[in-house]
Structure 1
Amino acid sequence: MLNRRTFLTGLVLLPLARAFAAFADGKPWPKGSVARFSKHLKPVGRALEMEGYYVWCTSPIYGHDGRVHVFFSRWPQQKGMGGWLNSCEIARAVADSPAGPFVYQETVLAPRGPGFWDATTCHNPHVQLVDGKYCLFYMGTSNGKTNTKRIGLATAERLEGPWTRPDAPLLEPGAEGAWDDHCTTNPAFVKHEGRYWLYYKSWNTRDYVTSTHPTIRGNRKYGLAVAERLEGPYVKHPANPVIDFSRLGHNKQFEDAFVWHENGKFQLLARDMGVYDHEVGLLLESRDGIAWTYPKIAYRALREYVQEPPAPANLKRYGRLERPQLLMRNGKPAYLFGASQGGRYLTASAFVFKID
């Protein structure tokens, strides 16, 4: 039987919502709200600072050469922070260790132009070695707008490529009026018991109402789609959305999930968007990958780890660590890579933590 701290589809968590409403008043976090994971983080520093570019979405992996390969998003500085949606490409950099320095190698996936589902941007890289091949999950848009965001999968025999890119997205949004009718984005993937599990972020374009949660438009939730083959088809789980914070009130939500399986449990790392505050990370656990525990704080605001210059006026997300991705070693987290505004070029770069 599931414990009272576990999310169930259709369950309204009013007692928890009231308990955590204190954050709005600036009160301390409740005892037990900080995960052990946060106590093992040691800041390494910024990485992948590139003159003339914003750097985001850094997904690391150990190569057969023993070096660390990072697949990351980048777009021209003159496009501003919003350039990720209509001018982004996915590139690869390499270092001898997770601490860097990382050296740019090549652009891996660039927008393909009119007529393609990834015509205007390639973003959200997430790389894994699956069934002996390298898999690069990513998001593309066809017109530079959020309602054309779709998840795709490129594959290669080597991290150096060449990469085979799909003619069609891996996962489409739901029908009009569904909770996920707007897009599919922010892929998180895990192979479990011979099946292929794809977690994805979406939201509703119009009001989405059930008997168990309020009318909130555009609230970010996560769904799950499962396939018998890596290439799909991926079938959406009937319990979707499997994680839904909207029922807590105050438009609480989250994004940027990273999922892995360790010690008999699914673990999910993500960026908070109002459960605690917008500057921390979240950690959730699940026995079955469908019902998840109430989130704990996985990492704190960046200013609690390092001292950086005052926020430039043009960077509205300064101080946050977004898009958390883990560098795994022997099935266990070894380093945390995130994206953070700032750095020497006053754009954005990766920020790395060692996990002790």
Structure 2
Amino acid sequence: MKIKSIFPLFSLLMLIVLKAGYAQDNLDFQPLLKEVDSSNIFYSNNHYTWCSSVIQGEDGKYHMFYSRWSHGKRSLDDDSMNYIFNGFRGWCKYSEIAHAVAEHINGPYKYTATLLKGDGNSTKWDRFTMHNPQIRKFGKYYYLYYISNSFDPTFKVKNDKKIDKDWAHWLKYNCTQAIGVIKAKSIKDLLEGKYEKPEQPLMRPDNINTFEVATNPTVTQGPDKRYYMMYKSRKPNVGNMTFYMAVSNKPDGPYSMLGEVFTSADMACEDPCMWYDKTNKRFYAAVKYYSHSQKLVPQFGALALVTSENGLNWKAAAHPLISLREMKMKDGKKVDLAHLERPFVVTDKKGKPIALFAAASIEEPTKGEMENPAFENNSFNVCFPIK
């Protein structure tokens, strides 16, 4: 066959492959992220601000569901060791899920109300903190996934004598974390408390596959119309948190285990936000990189992109760096960040990113707040506009 005759055949084959929807991995956040200004930053004078999740409502406005908890020292009324939740560490007991609204996806956002808050009821699994919100709409309903905890006075870790009493007490709260969901027909209904709220959590450790905690939930619908939930738990004798994938025929479960993800130390991640790209025919997840090996991206705590074609086997995306721990401002300045985490990617109906949100702090928020009130406002949610 002559060489010239090959090219028309090759072009035809390529056209067929592209029309058939050949899975690609070409998502690159670097040329997409725009500079930030003050309208893209959301914070509170009285509360730590964290964990943003954004969706466009039936009213055309953009609704942010986020975590917040008050500054300062905690009362010792209900726990003689409540000082372990002073300042930023109060997230584990005092976080609440609040709502803010904006006319435009990039902001500015304005607080309107608190949606979920622990009431201290000892009979409930979600007795205390309300944290890690992720808002999704599947079909005609909005689903708000979140984590909460109670208190287990009997909880003990192995080698308990080797850890200090504050940490041991912290774990009695921390190791009751589980995942819940509320369901409503509209954002308006969510805000007015007109939602379905199951009495039991959606996912909690079974002490067979997952242990101690179930946190960081992220849910998306796959190409098979099933709902995939990635979440964080612990695995015995492993230093890193392990992530798991579960699947369900309904957004609000029940979910069954598929298996572990991010199993290697070089792929240690947390805070995933997962979605399915219908054009590239693959799952993506924006994550906080939690490894010092720099095998995935060149900085611990940077935002990274991982991908999977089946939802279970994950690897670094072709362009794995989303953002280093920094903000590039519209005035040309660069702001280095101590933390950049809890990424949330807003996508269009085909799964293409249209905005990136993250929680951030310029200084380390767990240090110095009690002595230096200036640290109090050192936490915020930022929107990185996308071109």
TM-score by length of 2: 0.72
Matched, 1:164 2:192: no
* Deviation of 1:243 (Å): 1.8
Larger deviation, residues 143-152 vs 330-339: 143-152
- CA contact under 8 A between 1:278 and 1:320: conserved in structure 2? no
Matched, 1:352 2:383: yes
* Deviation of 1:82 (Å): 1.0
With over 3 angstroms needed to count, the CA separation of the structure-2 counterparts of 1:39 and 1:308, relative to structure 1, is closer
Partner of 1:260: 275
Structure 2 residues without counterparts, runs of 5 or longer? 1-25, 73-85, 152-169, 364-373
Partner of 1:290: 312
Partner of 1:10: none
- Among 134, 141, 147, which residue is 1:139 paired with? 147
* Deviation of 1:112 (Å): 3.0
* Deviation of 1:117 (Å): 0.9
Amino acid at match of 2:201: P
Alignment of 1:66-77 (within 5 A): 66-77=60-71
* Deviation of 1:163 (Å): 2.7
Amino acid at match of 1:151: I
- CA contact under 8 A between 2:44 and 2:377: conserved in structure 1? no
With over 3 angstroms needed to count, the CA separation of the structure-2 counterparts of 1:244 and 1:74, relative to structure 1, is same
Partner of 1:243: 262
Distance in 2 (CA, whole Å) between partners of 1:346 and 1:297 is: 28
Distance in 1 (CA, whole Å) between partners of 2:27 and 2:142 is: 31
> Which is higher, the Rg of structure 1 or of structure 2?
2
Partner of 1:184: 214
Partner of 2:231: 200
Distance in 2 (CA, whole Å) between partners of 1:287 and 1:99 is: 30
* Deviation of 1:342 (Å): 4.2
Alignment: residue pair count: 298
Amino acid at match of 2:321: I
- Among 205, 212, 215, which residue is 1:173 paired with? 205
- CA contact under 8 A between 1:77 and 1:347: conserved in structure 2? no
With over 3 angstroms needed to count, the CA separation of the structure-2 counterparts of 1:309 and 1:322, relative to structure 1, is closer
- CA contact under 8 A between 1:142 and 1:149: conserved in structure 2? yes
With over 3 angstroms needed to count, the CA separation of the structure-2 counterparts of 1:307 and 1:202, relative to structure 1, is farther
* Deviation of 1:319 (Å): 3.0
Distance in 2 (CA, whole Å) between partners of 1:299 and 1:337 is: 11
Partner of 2:349: 330
Partner of 1:81: 88
Percent identity, please.
28
1:269-306 superposed Cα distances (whole Å, 9 cap, x missing partner):
10011152323111111111111123522211215567
Amino acid at match of 2:260: P
Matched, 1:320 2:339: yes
Distance in 2 (CA, whole Å) between partners of 1:253 and 1:281 is: 12
SS at match of 1:294: strand
What is the Cα-based RMSD across aligned positions, in Å?
Answer: 2.2
- CA contact under 8 A between 2:119 and 2:128: conserved in structure 1? yes
Name the structure where helix makes up a greater proportion of residues.
Answer: 2
Partner of 1:51: 45
* Deviation of 1:48 (Å): 2.1
- CA contact under 8 A between 2:262 and 2:268: conserved in structure 1? no
Distance in 2 (CA, whole Å) between partners of 1:96 and 1:171 is: 34
Structure 1 residues without counterparts, runs of 5 or longer? 1-33, 208-215, 311-317
TM-score by length of 1: 0.78
Partner of 2:6: none
Partner of 2:326: 302
Partner of 1:313: none
Deviating above 6 A after TM superposition, structure 1's stretches of 4 or more consecutive aligned residues are none
- CA contact under 8 A between 1:44 and 1:99: conserved in structure 2? no
SS at match of 1:72: strand
* Deviation of 1:236 (Å): 0.5
Partner of 1:314: none
